[in-house]
């Protein structure tokens, strides 16, 4: 992996690495391991997206299949998409911080993109623990859209940031064995600005066998 001071520079997007290439970006607790993907050479107005991975203590990384599929869906919609490892995961420095420091990691990833695409709309997404991080930091990040997949509403404080005031979507597996689908449904109904809510009747927490429909649903709803 190359350091952030040696990233290749492409015409129209200074400091942007090749699509799919791993790199390190500066974070609050050390360097953060990341991968940037895009379908065409980006410019300063291309939509940008950050996707947050599930719980680090249960094997969550930027390579998680749900995270990868969300990123792929955003790519189909023309976005430059950044996946990164939270502190203490893979080659990212620091230690797990129970969601507090991880929000700061997400904001650092957003800042890295903003330095290169200042005028681009930001799409922010997260899966499971990553959904909490995206929710908790979406206002500070300045997200234009928010996507939460299997948000663990019974495990983390999803009330502390107040109402979402941008277009947003929640996707849940109704057969989820980790996040209680009924709790998510009730939480969605309590929101002042209702999200688009999609429940996959036969999907478990990791959407095994349902990843392609998950991608298709995001593309259809987000486009």
Q: Spell out the domains of the chain, with CATH numbers in brackets.
A: 4-222 (3.40.50.1820)
Q: State the pLDDT at residue 42.
A: 79
**Quick one: average pLDDT of 152-156?**
94
pTM metric for this prediction:
0.93
Confidence band of 177 (pLDDT split at 50, 70, 90) = very high
Query: What pLDDT digit, counting tens, does each position of 80-133 carry?
Result: 999 999 999 999 999 999 999 999 999 999 999 999 999 999 999 999 999 999
Percent over 70 (pLDDT), the chain = 92
Q: Distance (Å, rounded) from C-alpha 212 to C-alpha 84?
A: 22
Characterize 179-198 residue by residue with b for buried, 16 or more Cβ atoms within 10 angstroms of its Cβ, and e for exposed. Answer: bbbebbeebbeeeeeebebb
**Quick one: average pLDDT of 31-48?**
90
Instruction: Mean pLDDT check: name the lowest of 48-52, 156-160, 163-167.
Output: 156-160
Query: What pLDDT digit, counting tens, does each position of 17-26 carry?
Result: 989 999 999 9
Average pLDDT for the chain: 92
Q: Distance (Å, rounded) from C-alpha 76 to C-alpha 220?
A: 10
Beta strands in 112-175 (DSSP E): 122-127, 145-149, 168-173
Confidence band of 160 (pLDDT split at 50, 70, 90) = low
Q: Distance (Å, rounded) from C-alpha 172 to C-alpha 196?
A: 11
Whole-number Cα distances in Å, 151 to 20, 155, 187: 27, 9, 10
Helix axes 65-76, 211-222, angle to 10 degrees: 40
**Quick one: average pLDDT of 57-85?**
97
pLDDT at 11 over 50: no
């Amino acid at each position: 992996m190359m350091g952030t001071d040696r990233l290749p520079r492409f015409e129209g997007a200074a400091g942007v690495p090749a699509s799919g290439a791993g790199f390190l970006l500066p974070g609050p607790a050390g360097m953060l391991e990341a991968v940037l993907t895009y379908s065409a050479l980006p410019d300063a107005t291309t939509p940008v997206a950050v996707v947050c991975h599930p719980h680090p203590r249960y094997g969550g990384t930027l390579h998680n299949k749900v995270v990868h599929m969300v990123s792929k869906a955003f790519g189909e919609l023309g976005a430059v998409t950044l996946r990164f490892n939270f502190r203490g995961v893979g080659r990212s420095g620091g230690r797990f911080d129970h969601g507090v420091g991880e929000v700061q990691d997400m904001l650092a990833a957003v800042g890295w993109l903003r330095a290169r695409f200042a005028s681009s709309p930001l799409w922010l997404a997260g899966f499971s623990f990553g959904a909490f991080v995206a929710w908790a930091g979406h206002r500070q990040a300045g997200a234009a859209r928010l996507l939460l997949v299997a948000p663990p509403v019974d495990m983390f404080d999803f009330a502390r940031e107040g109402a979402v005031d941008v277009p947003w979507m929640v996707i849940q597996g109704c057969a989820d064995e980790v996040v209680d689908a009924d709790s998510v449904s009730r939480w969605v109904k309590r929101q002042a600005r209702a999200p688009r809510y999609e429940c996959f009747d036969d999907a478990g927490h990791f959407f095994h066998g349902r990843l392609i429909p998950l991608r298709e649903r995001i593309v259809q709803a987000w486009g």
